[in-house]
Amino acid sequence: MSETAIANAEHFIRHETQFHLGFLPTEQSNPLTKTLESDFRTSTAQGVRTLQRADRSVLAMSERIFRSAEYADLVRKGEDTIRNGGRIIFSGCGATGRLSILLESMWRKHCAEHPETARFADSVESIMTGGDYALVRSVEFFEDYQEFGRRQVAGARMNANDLLVAITEGGETSSVLGTVFEVLDRGCAVFLLFNNPAELLAKHLERSRKAIENPGVHVLDLSCGPMALAGSTRMQATTSEQLVAGAALETIMHRLTGRNTPDYPSMFRSLLEALESPENVKALADYIDFETEIYRNKGKVTYFANDYLLDIFTDTTERSPTFMLPPFRKKDDTVSPQSWAFVKNPLYPTPETWKRSMNRPLRCLSWTIADYKAMNADAVCAHPPALSADDLLKFEVGNEAPEHRADSGNDAAVLVCISADPELEKAFRHTAPLFRAARSLAIGSETNADYSIRIPESVGELRLMKHMAVKLILNTISTGTMARLGRITGNWMSWVDCTNKKLLDRGTRLIMEIAGVDYRTACIALFDAMEHHENANKEKSSPVQIALEKLKKNGFPVCF
């Protein structure tokens, strides 16, 4: 082990204890999915059923929350805010940041399609750590800075008429808590949603305690236990937050338009039962096997969609840090490997695709080195990320150059059908011959498809349950595919990238679990592995995997 690795590890162990999160349920192994790796090895359908078990905990949580006074207060306060000319602003980071953007887009889409609600379009906004750019590519270490959240609240010009709904899966994300503290200073009402027991967070983490115990913060504890894939909070944690925050927002729209409120626990139960049907399990398993073979043959998958593009983007973006896959590549980058999966809209060029998906202009950041210094983020100053709208537009998510996604000779085009769209189908038929394989995946659509997943009809104004279905299905597909490719160990995400302090701790605990070593040994091994850099034109290896391989060579009983 290098002296630098030992010193860095010792510093993390001694001075970053507020990011040692193994005590949180969202960071622990779920007993319902202990056999996830072996089940997928036995049969893909069996693995799918194992993954689905954990979603039932979200249903149990929702039945509790939807009856609670705290949830009723969220709906009432949200409705009053909009009727009085204020804004509901969602804030999040990573998966919850993408959820915040999705919630805003759902609201804006309804307002764009219904003239009677057009006046409410600007009543809902979102703040994502790193801005809209982070929707398509994770921004390293941004979540570790409370000041970043504060700065983005200032940029949104929030005032006492506005309402903040802050969403953090673990309940401890610094940048999201920064938005909470800033709006409290501005006199705004605040609701804080998270997925670990409030008393546990308040006991162990100072930053969480400061928010949870503040009398100005309304807490919604959405605890639903460990994730199906240990530590992968993009799954049940974000599912529960999408269900609760989405239901509150949809209920507010129903009240503004004089419609009755749907029975969300019943609708979610019906959705889970539909996805667990033998026909849908088979369709999911068959599609997972298809996508797995594309990757095994060194091919790429490109999803083609129009509506629900943001939902698909969320899942594909999150595959990169979760499973150490190449992130999306900009059009002027000819060196980095292309992402295994990508999303394109074959109907419109990239700027128009974003405009139609967001129903608003891009909301990106143009922070300078001086800004980072003012926020005491000296570590970012050495390599400040490019987060502007111009940088985001370099990811060609529109109809430009589809041939670049079909250059290996083993690539696949997948049409995602969620509602009947003849123009989309026509554009797909025009593009599909570029690819070696072309398939269609239908979700709740009557369109004939290679893989059809039937779901109940969505009755809400914002189509929340259809969005929930897309999320659950894509989470199952992406996790199942990675399991089939050997990128999980047991039910641990053992091919993880360590791009922030929380992930450094998670990587350390993964090494402990798999290699049977103590925290210090695992942490040193991880920091030593992080000193190994791959060439820019090669896919990076997970530092967790590098550390495990080295420990195994040194005689430790590593089992993976």
> Which amino acid is located at 398 in the chain?
G
Whole-angstrom distance, CA of residue 343 vs CA of residue 173: 28
* pLDDT (mean) for 257-270: 96
Instruction: Identify the weakest region by mean pLDDT among 119-128, 295-304, 448-457.
Output: 448-457
Neighbours of 87 (CB within 10 A): 19
What is the end-to-end Cα distance of the chain in Å, rounded? 22
Contact 352, 399 (CB under 8 A): no
pLDDT tens profile 174-208: 999 999 999 999 999 999 999 999 999 999 999 99
pLDDT tens profile 157-171: 999 999 999 999 999
DSSP code, position 230: B
pLDDT above 50 (res 536): no
What local confidence, expressed as pLDDT, does residue 379 receive?
A: 85
Whole-angstrom distance, CA of residue 477 vs CA of residue 341: 12
Whole-angstrom distance, CA of residue 481 vs CA of residue 291: 7
pLDDT above 90 (res 245): yes
Q: For residue 323, what are the CA distances in angstroms to 89, 488, 497?
A: 31, 8, 7
> What is the percent of the chain where pLDDT is above 70?
97
Whole-angstrom distance, CA of residue 386 vs CA of residue 134: 11
Neighbours of 122 (CB within 10 A): 12
- Give the 3-state secondary structure of residue 15: helix
What local confidence, expressed as pLDDT, does residue 539 receive?
A: 66
pLDDT tens profile 323-378: 989 999 999 999 999 999 999 999 999 999 999 999 999 999 999 999 999 999 98
Q: Which domains does the chain have, with CATH numbers?
A: 3-29+492-553 (no CATH), 41-46+267-370+377-484 (3.40.50.10490), 55-264 (3.40.50.10490)
What local confidence, expressed as pLDDT, does residue 123 receive?
A: 98
Question: pTM of the predicted model, to two decimals?
Answer: 0.93
* pLDDT (mean) for 1-26: 90
Closest C-alpha to 443, from 413, 418, 473: 418
Closest C-alpha to 455, from 251, 267, 315, 194: 267
Q: ∠ CA 477-482-486 to the nearest 5 degrees?
A: 150
What local confidence, expressed as pLDDT, does residue 176 receive?
A: 97
Tokens of 275: 């996805």
Instruction: Report the C-alpha dihedral over residues 304, 308, 310, 314, rounded to 10 degrees.
Output: -80
* pLDDT (mean) for 382-392: 93
Whole-angstrom distance, CA of residue 413 vs CA of residue 66: 40
What local confidence, expressed as pLDDT, does residue 457 receive?
A: 87
Closest C-alpha to 497, from 141, 27, 154, 222: 141
What local confidence, expressed as pLDDT, does residue 493 receive?
A: 86
Burial status of residue 269 (CB atoms within 10 A of its CB: 0-12, 13-18, 19 or more): middle
Q: Average model confidence (pLDDT) for the chain?
A: 94
What local confidence, expressed as pLDDT, does residue 535 receive?
A: 42
pLDDT above 70 (res 447): no
In the sheet where 341-344 sits, what is the strand order? 341-344, 301-304, 412-417, 437-443, 451-453
Instruction: Name the pLDDT band for 446 (thresholds 50, 70, 90).
Output: low
Instruction: Name the pLDDT band for 499 (thresholds 50, 70, 90).
Output: confident
